[in-house]
Chains A and B, each alone.
Chain A
Amino acid sequence: MARNKEAVVLVIDVGPSMHSVLPEVEKVCSLLIQKKLIFSRYDEVGFVLFGTSDTKNELTEEVGGYEHVTVLRNIKVVDEDLVDALQNLPRGSVPGDFLDAIIVGMDMLIKKFGQTNKGKKRLCLITNAATPIKDPFEGTKEDQVNTIATQMTAQGMKMDCVIVRMKQDWETNRRVMEENDFLMSVFLNKSSSKVVYVESPTSLLGALRTRNISPVTIYRGDFDISTQLKIKVWVYKKTSEEKFPTLKKYSDKAPPTDKFATHEIKVDYEYKSIEDPNKVVPPEERIKGFRYGPQVVPISPAELEAVKFKPEKSVKLLGFTDASNIMRHYYLKDVNIFIAEPGNKKAILALSALARAMKDMNKVAIVRCVWRQGQGNVVVGVLTPNVSDNDNTPDSFYFNNLPFAEDVREFQFPSFSNLPSSMQPNEKQQDAADKLVQMLDLAPPGKQEVLPPDFTPNPVLERYYRYLDLKSKHPDAAVPPLDETLQKITEPDVELLSRNKSILEEFRRSFELKDNPKLKKSTRRIMKERPSGSDEEREEFDKDAHAKAIDSIEYSSKTNVEKIGDVNPVKDFEEMMSRRDDPKWINKAIRDMKNRIFDLVENSCEGDTFPKALQCLVALRKGCILEQEPKQFNDFLCHLCKFCQEKDLRSFCEYLTSHEITLITKTEAPDSGIPEHESRSFMVKPELDSQNVKSEAKAENDIMSIYLGGK
């Protein structure tokens, strides 16, 4: 049996005021069960509803009272049916009494386990605590809660309370809720309870810990402040990524009749000699090699052991420094937490004193850690104080790894203040940005922070487990779209955006963004990379592109053309050809134009780009005659036709013929070797370049030399 087996009783409020959030409650509870089915098969779960019209529990039979509390399931090992049951919670009709329900849940745990299993019994209460609890027969409500909390501690039970508080709730029952919140705080102070308040369905999904991972210390021992003063600490992981589950590879080789087939696949590695690929080298004939530049340096295990860096297990203080010296982005990995050894009062005090002093002075501690004996490296990190604000929890430190000198790349970037003025925001733009940063606020005062990491579930995992359950029922089901609650994590809140519509509009107007017209289409990556090709987005994109195209025309007219864009290539070409500041522009213009024409022809869809390509070709022809570069054009035209024939774009050749495009003839440019009657020869002999050369050479022998000279 699993060592960390736990028993949970889910206590869920299904009263009328809860109906709106019950879909999320169903999801989070069924996820809890699903994860138990996968990761902790032997955990036990019980299941109590309150606010139901019916009453069904043992206490009401034994002592009476406890109405509207229904035990849907007694505590037993998790099973498949439970997931379905939780996905279809009945809607109750009566405002529930959470205290009654807690007592029923406790009673179930006591009856099942008695005094055993201390610390592994848990109650999970989900309610909005918006309705008053009944007055007790004697004493006050507070006394009653006190008694229950004491009992809970004595029995070694823990309680997680998730209190759902959507904002409209406050308006109706402020007094009741304040009273209930007070009672909850009694639980918090008098027992091992945790109370969290959530204000959005998304947070509700993240508020309940769905997977029970028992924390393991990574270090227990001395924290050496100096050689004379050592504080006993335990170090745990504070954050550790819950990875996407590793799925096994499926083998379909086992016969379908084999009921015990595992369908698993083993991966086998063989190391083979390079000289003789058939020879498998056994492990004892292998030696580890490390790369050093192009060399691979072999090191035997014995050598490695002899030269390895072997620091002693320890945690040592190097000193304190101003918190501002350690920038947030230097935190390197997941986070650990340093807590004083439990029960060691003096150590708790010493750590608490340090934490509070450091917090007051805004200091952090730099420490050097070797967590385990035999660990081959040391870790340098920073301790930041985590001062607890309640009496039950000891003060502690967060530990973050810091980089070594080798881990940092000191790239230099231009100062923003040195940027050209076109890249500096003006006053109006700065003002628009200020407003945006202020108003797109995810942590408005008086309200709960939106998407706090502590309450935000991983949308991918949520989606995976739901899909898993769906697939277990319908093996062919497609991946359902991301549901609305989870979309709140991946996309901006529509309500927040619409509330700040005018600010967004002003911001949009203040900044002018346009595509860089100098960039060739083929190198334009970002805009092409659109993994989700939703229609809506494509539309938006098209609009963008259109707007940008207009921008780019404006832009190109302003500057010296250095590249032929795809918006107005003919104009660009002509401008570039007429640039007289450097003869290189002519060659570049011709070269770029050729590329542009190729792009146009190649990217055509049923000839839609042909007219534009033709325009370009005409312009190029004209330019080549003007600059007396007939060969450039003639070669290109032949090449283009050949290309079209190969690429099944014959229609373009026909298109050209029908528009009377010809080679540049001798009459047009003396350098051309093409006599008048052969000006259409590119159509007739569209084979290889060399053959073209030959056929022309036959017609006029002296051209040969020009061609050879040119190549």
Chain B
Amino acid sequence: MELDPDEVFRDDEDDPESEFFKERDASKELLVYLVDASPKMFSTTCHTDDEMNATHFQVAINSIAQSLRTQIINRSYDEVSICFFDTREKKNLQDLSGVYVFNVPEREDLDRPTARLIKEFDRIEERFDKEIGSKYGIVPGSRENSLYNALWVAQALLRKGSAKTADKRILLLTNEDDPFGNLKGVIKVDMMRTTLQRAKDAQDLGIAIELLPLSRPDDEFNVSLFYADLLGLEGDDLAQFKAMVGERFEDLKDQLRKRMYKKRRVRRLRFVIFNGLSIELNTYALIRPTNPGTITWLESTTNLPLKTERSFICADTAAIIQEPPKRFQSYKNETVMFSVDELSEVKRVSTGHLRLLGFKPLSCLKDYHNLKPATFVFPSDEEVIGSTCLFVALHRSMLRLKRFAVAFYGNSSHPQLVALVAQDEIMTPSGQVEPPGMHLIYLPYSDDIRHVEELHTDPNSVPHATDDQIKKASTLVRRIDLKDFSVCQFANPALQRHYAVLQALALDEDEMPEIKDETLPDEEGMARPGIVKAMEEFKLSAYGENYEEDDQKVDGKAEPSRKRKANAMKEYANYDWSDLADNGKLKDLTVVELKYYLAAHNVPVAGKKEALISRILTHMGK
């Protein structure tokens, strides 16, 4: 079905890249956002990055909108539903009051996100009051329980799909730590009990409930009041959750968005420290290039997808054959055949585990020791208890001694030497920037490294900068300093453009959106007098007075080209160019002859004959 035209011609059996870049998600995720829409969400404000005072409700829906946008690009197979509770209106299959399931046409309540959903959800705020409305759902004197209803609706939505193939989650966004606080006595106890039971039932069905509390710095969200029971948090888990909630974050929205991500393990690994001692690690793909997605071929008349059929044809007899069992390589004028089994045996140089070989100082890891994106590893006690403790100990030692581990990763399709570099946790006021753990960096083999520098060696020694030049360069470097540069601060302009266009086309919009290219240099900043001065001084120091002339002249190369040009000038005089051009006779000349003209006039000489002729005509002004 989905075949990228470039992919088609690649070898289909062993392309380790494709496997590597695909995250192994056998299961898709079904997610229900349960958003508290009670008046308290609207009356509480907090400080965020872009708007000084946003309500908690705004923060919640903004983070959801942002996460929907990421999802449609990265994980469009996951299904999602947005459900408000404590609402005035109700809209849900069970017809329960105080719960409103937000949706757009041509979409089930729990379904993959569509362009339309994203677009309409972006405008939810203006429509909210009119169409949905906010109202406390749990009030004294009434047996209505909107939280209970919400959990019921969410659970009913998540009935779809089996628990084996899908990850089911409810994300609860609220700023009310004590939803039954205004009730008393038996009613309170009873309603709390039924709500907890509801949550437990959902959890028994394999639905994970996660809480994203929104709290104000002066009013901490107290998990113990109610939600600890609902989430089933005890002991260490509870302490850890409290610690997380208690941290004061400058940017609540950013923090919410990060917590909405479900961590996805790529695979589980056994890390063999030495014989008989091995721990359990999980690997995560924290950094992988995102690309515009695969191409699906459609029939242009109907816009229906096409089915791709592949057939193998014998080049000698043109017979159609089944997938052949043997591969061959021509060698020594012979055809040497391999069975697929033999080839995979050749690749199997080690067990499938990660095997520690030893440690080296970090200075041994050079900047050119890289081939593909790193993989993050984090320990797990799920199968082997004690893994985390051992890992933490190694992690600390490696950080302290400034060493990295070298290991052999005997993956069956692509066995490789890897470096394990310990990364300490980095926290900023806006949260965790770098998680603690190790990064697995795939090392090149000698076969993969090219010695380009050698091409440029010169037995007569090449110049190196003088101290003065280095000093001038230092001044320049100091001037053009990107202080708060963070690695992923730029959005990919090509990708942004691509998806903006897709969204516009999907919604039949006429106007194509403009996307700002954030990756262009800051011309204005560069024009500041301090920088310009430093630049000029450096230029003077490295290039001397006449930068413009010298720029063109290249030693060694100049000689032959000058000779060639002299020859061209001589030959050039032998033709009556304007006459040839007028009579359309240029095409009768050879390419070599045409180049005499071009070379004599300093016009580029590259290209096909037609290009050369048209260039000559243009140059003559004809």
Count of A residues near B, CB < 8 Å? 229
The answer to the question of B161 belonging to the interface, with a C-beta cut-off of 8 Å to chain A, is: no
Q: A241 near B444 (CB under 8 angstroms)?
A: yes
Nearest-CB residue, chain A, relative to B293: A291
- Looking at the complex, which of A19-27, A134-142, A331-339, A614-622 is the stretch in contact with chain B? A331-339
Query: Known contacts A247-B328, A251-B321, A405-B488: does B388 contact A343 (CB below 8 Å)?
Result: no
The answer to the question of A148 belonging to the interface, with a C-beta cut-off of 8 Å to chain B, is: no
Query: Known contacts A248-B328, A330-B487: does B305 contact A289 (CB below 8 Å)?
Result: yes
Query: Known contacts A274-B306, A353-B538, A442-B359: does B462 contact A392 (CB below 8 Å)?
Result: yes
The answer to the question of B184 belonging to the interface, with a C-beta cut-off of 8 Å to chain A, is: no
Q: A38 near B331 (CB under 8 angstroms)?
A: yes
Q: A287 near B303 (CB under 8 angstroms)?
A: yes
The residues of B that contact A478 with a CB separation of less than 8 Å are 342
The answer to the question of A502 belonging to the interface, with a C-beta cut-off of 8 Å to chain B, is: no
Query: Known contacts A357-B477, A392-B462, A400-B370: does B385 contact A516 (CB below 8 Å)?
Result: yes
Please, how many angstroms separate the alpha-carbon atoms of A393 and B455 in the complex?
9
Among A318, A361, A402, the residue within 8 A (CB) of B521 is A318
The residues of B that contact A469 with a CB separation of less than 8 Å are 331
Q: Give 5 nearest A-B pairs by CB, closest first.
A: A247-B327, A353-B465, A357-B473, A329-B439, A377-B494
Given pairs A251-B314, A529-B270, 6 additional interface contacts (CB within 8 A): A215-B450, A319-B482, A331-B373, A337-B368, A407-B288, A419-B388
Within 8 A of A (CB), among B304-334: 304-317, 319, 321, 324, 326-334
Query: Known contacts A309-B494, A333-B373, A531-B351: does B389 contact A424 (CB below 8 Å)?
Result: yes
Please, how many angstroms separate the alpha-carbon atoms of A360 and B384 in the complex?
46
Please, how many angstroms separate the alpha-carbon atoms of A527 and B269 in the complex?
10
The answer to the question of A639 belonging to the interface, with a C-beta cut-off of 8 Å to chain B, is: no
Q: B275 near A540 (CB under 8 angstroms)?
A: yes
The residues of A that contact B494 with a CB separation of less than 8 Å are 309, 376-378
Please, how many angstroms separate the alpha-carbon atoms of A487 and B215 in the complex?
57
The answer to the question of B478 belonging to the interface, with a C-beta cut-off of 8 Å to chain A, is: yes
Q: B335 near A263 (CB under 8 angstroms)?
A: yes
The answer to the question of A286 belonging to the interface, with a C-beta cut-off of 8 Å to chain B, is: yes
Q: A346 near B359 (CB under 8 angstroms)?
A: no
- Looking at the complex, which of A293-301, A567-575, A685-693 is the stretch in contact with chain B? A293-301
Nearest CB of B to A473, in Å: 9
Q: B308 near A271 (CB under 8 angstroms)?
A: yes
The residues of A that contact B457 with a CB separation of less than 8 Å are 192, 392-393
Q: B331 near A425 (CB under 8 angstroms)?
A: no
Query: Known contacts A245-B329, A270-B308, A519-B382: does B286 contact A411 (CB below 8 Å)?
Result: yes
Q: A267 near B439 (CB under 8 angstroms)?
A: no
Q: A353 near B541 (CB under 8 angstroms)?
A: yes
Please, how many angstroms separate the alpha-carbon atoms of A531 and B344 in the complex?
12
The answer to the question of B608 belonging to the interface, with a C-beta cut-off of 8 Å to chain A, is: no
The answer to the question of A254 belonging to the interface, with a C-beta cut-off of 8 Å to chain B, is: yes
- Looking at the complex, which of A163-171, A172-180, A454-462, A659-667 is the stretch in contact with chain B? A454-462
Nearest CB of B to A468, in Å: 6
Nearest CB of A to B251, in Å: 13
Query: Known contacts A352-B464, A404-B492, A411-B284: does B319 contact A253 (CB below 8 Å)?
Result: yes
Q: A544 near B276 (CB under 8 angstroms)?
A: yes
The answer to the question of A45 belonging to the interface, with a C-beta cut-off of 8 Å to chain B, is: no
Q: A419 near B305 (CB under 8 angstroms)?
A: no
Within 8 A of B (CB), among A378-433: 378, 380, 384, 386, 388, 391-396, 398, 400, 402-420, 422-425, 429-430, 432-433
The residues of B that contact A339 with a CB separation of less than 8 Å are 452-453, 456
The answer to the question of A288 belonging to the interface, with a C-beta cut-off of 8 Å to chain B, is: yes
The answer to the question of B556 belonging to the interface, with a C-beta cut-off of 8 Å to chain A, is: yes
Within 8 A of B (CB), among A424-446: 424-425, 429-430, 432-434, 436-438, 440-443
The answer to the question of A321 belonging to the interface, with a C-beta cut-off of 8 Å to chain B, is: yes
Among A245, A361, A472, the residue within 8 A (CB) of B477 is A361
* Chain A contact surface mostly: mixed
Q: A350 near B285 (CB under 8 angstroms)?
A: no
The residues of B that contact A543 with a CB separation of less than 8 Å are 276
Please, how many angstroms separate the alpha-carbon atoms of A693 and B295 in the complex?
56
Nearest-CB residue, chain B, relative to A230: B551
The residues of B that contact A540 with a CB separation of less than 8 Å are 275-276
Q: B522 near A318 (CB under 8 angstroms)?
A: yes
The answer to the question of A550 belonging to the interface, with a C-beta cut-off of 8 Å to chain B, is: no
Most buried by A among B360, B396, B453: B453
The residues of B that contact A232 with a CB separation of less than 8 Å are 551, 554
Nearest-CB residue, chain B, relative to A398: B367
Within 8 A of A (CB), among B361-410: 361, 364-374, 376, 378, 381-390, 392-398, 400-401, 403, 405-406, 408, 410
Q: B538 near A229 (CB under 8 angstroms)?
A: yes
Nearest CB of A to B107, in Å: 8
Most buried by B among A287, A515, A525, A540: A287
Query: Known contacts A268-B313, A437-B398, A491-B350: does B456 contact A393 (CB below 8 Å)?
Result: yes
Q: B315 near A320 (CB under 8 angstroms)?
A: no
The residues of A that contact B298 with a CB separation of less than 8 Å are 286-289, 296, 298
Q: A490 near B358 (CB under 8 angstroms)?
A: no
Q: B71-102 interface mask toward A, CB cutoff 8 Å, 1 = contact, 0 = none?
A: 01110100000000000000000000000000
The residues of B that contact A451 with a CB separation of less than 8 Å are 357, 406, 417
The residues of B that contact A317 with a CB separation of less than 8 Å are 480, 521
Nearest CB of B to A100, in Å: 23
Among B306, B434, B526, the residue within 8 A (CB) of A272 is B306
